[in-house]
Amino acid sequence: MSTPEDKARAERGITRYLRTGPGLVFNLYAIFAAFTTYFCMYAFRKPFAAASYEGAKFFGTEIDAKTAFVIAQIIGYTISKFAGMKVCSETGRAGRGGLLVKLILVAWGSLVLFAVLPQDLKVAAIFINGLPLGMIWGTVVLYLEGRRTSELLLAGLSCSYIIASGVVKDVGRALMSDYGVPEYWMPAATGGLFFLPFLLAVWLLGQLPAPTEADIRERSARTEMYSNDRWAFCRQFSLGLLLLSGMYFFLTAYRDYRDNYGVEILKELGLADVDGVFSMTEIPIAFGVVSVLALLSLVRSNRLGLKIAFSVMAGGQLLMGVAMWMLSAGHIDGVWWYGLVGLGAYLAYVPFGCVLFDRLLAYTRFAGTAVFAIYLTDAIGYTGSVVLQLFRDLIFSDSSRLEFFTSLTYAMSLGGAASLIAAMFYFLKQSPAEQPAA
């Protein structure tokens, strides 16, 4: 049986240098490769939201075509999260790169179908688009988790989708307005611009060495999780997972609503025609979130790290409510408000997909992968996103997008913070004694 030393001697080229070279180089390389991979993925997922598809209805009903597209993609994405609980948590190092490429090719093909299919069948194409994309996040996280600098690496990865969501929509809008690309062809065209960079980024990810012995001592071994392991995890942390999943059900719905209907919300505030408005708000959010989470990598104590992660998330929820009140009171303008509620939402949302469960496994020493817990909550969260879309269109169709978003913000701010604080106390009580850092 090969030892870590044997594996290190067998490594060549970039991989060997990354293991033996300066830690700063490894961190920057890993962040760049992971960031670029997931940033490019967003070019296959979010550009369709840059168009309004005005006047188009779903099969002649009162449901807007865009709402149907959003829901269809989220349903596909949600199914992908359920599948990812098995696929991603059981995927070893050798199969990751090939899986990423296959997933993105399916997504790109579905965008071509979105362009050429008849109007009433386009919803099927965008549903297919969501099926592969939901598994890309977990596959990328597998490269980064279980390292002493995982918070820094995962924060850099998380920065990608915060920035990409706005940038790819701006690219899509530019393709339509500046180059005359039809709105139904625009998503496939946007994806085409990012395909080769995606392939390069996946190759770069594949050169990362496995976690070191020091990483394993401090952050616990990360292994594939099969059915019995997944059930054992759920039984051990059942109440805490229930609190987190319930909160994430609404938080994902909130984040998706803001992301998918940002054009309509800003239009009501008279800001939709501001050039680069999404990049203007999302890029500062990304740097704010990544800076806060990256500081967690300096915390060696896993117990303290878990406390800080929960505190940051609860603080983000409260910020959303404060920003909403400040807009209503006239203390800030629409751009500042949109940025602040986004910052608050992402401070709570981003840790779910990276540092929270990575630190939880490190603290409890549970053998497995953080990807399973990430996908468990993600599957529930995206179910909430589907429910919210239908709830708004069928029950509150008379309310504007902004009016509905305002009420949702206040509810999420208070309820979300309370759930996170309760979950923090649960996990701190259930966890075993802190393991000494290396």
Q: How many domains does the chain have?
A: 1
In Å, what is the CA distance from 403 to each residue of 360, 396, 398, 406?
A: 37, 10, 10, 5
pLDDT given for residue 433 in this prediction: 43
Residue with tokens 């990483």: 215
Both tokens assigned to 355: 């540092």
Domain of 139, CATH number, reads 1.20.1250.20
Query: What is the number of other CB atoms lying within 10 angstroms of the CB of residue 396?
Result: 13
Per the domain annotation, does 185 fall within a domain?
A: yes
d(CA 379, CA 382): 6
Per-residue pLDDT of the chain (438 residues; tens, 9 = 90+): 444 445 555 567 899 999 888 989 999 999 999 999 999 999 999 888 778 777 677 766 667 788 888 888 888 988 998 898 888 888 877 889 999 999 999 999 999 999 999 888 989 999 999 999 999 998 999 999 888 888 889 888 887 877 887 788 889 888 998 898 998 899 999 999 999 999 999 999 999 998 888 888 887 777 788 888 889 888 888 898 999 999 999 998 888 888 878 878 888 887 766 666 777 777 888 888 888 887 887 888 888 988 999 999 999 999 999 999 998 888 888 888 888 999 999 999 988 877 888 888 888 888 778 888 888 888 888 888 778 877 877 777 777 888 888 888 999 999 999 999 999 999 988 755 444 443
Per the domain annotation, does 365 fall within a domain?
A: yes
Both tokens assigned to 278: 């999404």
Both tokens assigned to 227: 């059915």
pLDDT given for residue 272 in this prediction: 64
Structural domain of 93: 14-210+224-430
| Helix (H), strand (E), coil (C) string for the chain | CCCHHHHHHHCCHHHHHHHHCCHHHHHHHHHHHHHHHHHHHHHHHCHHHHCCCCCCECCCCCCEHHHHHHHHHHHHHHHHHHHHHHHCCCCCHHHHHHHHHHHHHHHHHHHHHHHHCCHHHHHHHHHHHHHHHCCHHHHHHHHHCCCCCHHHHHHHHHHHHHHHHHHHHHHHHHHHHHHCCCCCCHHHHHHHHHHHHHHHHHHHHCCCCCCCHHHHHHHCCECCCCHHHHHHHHHHCHHHHHHHHHHHHHHHHHHHHHHHCHHHHHHHCCCCCCCCHHHHHHHHHHHHHHHHHHHHHHCCCHHHHHHHHHHHHHHHHHHHHHHHHHHHCCCCCHHHHHHHHHHHHHHHHHHHCCHHHHHHHHHHCCCECHHHHHHHHHHHHHHHHHHHHHHHHHHCCCCCHHHHHHHHHHHHHHHHHHHHHHHHHHHHHHCCCCCCCC
Per the domain annotation, does 216 fall within a domain?
A: no
pLDDT given for residue 99 in this prediction: 93
Are 283 and 296 in contact by the 8 Å Cβ rule? The answer is no
Per the domain annotation, does 234 fall within a domain?
A: yes
Are 159 and 37 in contact by the 8 Å Cβ rule? The answer is no
Per the domain annotation, does 69 fall within a domain?
A: yes
Residue with tokens 């688009």: 129
Are 96 and 142 in contact by the 8 Å Cβ rule? The answer is yes
274: amino acid identity, one letter: V
> How many residues are given for the chain?
438
Per the domain annotation, does 6 fall within a domain?
A: no
Per the domain annotation, does 345 fall within a domain?
A: yes
Both tokens assigned to 102: 């296959």
194 by Cβ neighbours in 10 Å (0-12 / 13-18 / 19+) ranks as buried
Per the domain annotation, does 4 fall within a domain?
A: no
**CB neighbours of 304 closer than 8 A, spacing ≥ 6?**
none
pLDDT given for residue 395 in this prediction: 79
Are 375 and 252 in contact by the 8 Å Cβ rule? The answer is no
Of 260, 261, 255, 251, the C-alpha closest to 400 is 261
CA 212, chain centre distance (Å): 26
d(CA 138, CA 375): 7
Q: What are phi and psi of 54, to 5 degrees?
A: -60, 135
Contacts 24+ apart (CB under 8 A), 12-17: 13/207, 14/207, 15/207, 15/208, 15/209, 16/209
Report the predicted TM-score, pTM, of the whole model to 2 decimal places.
0.76
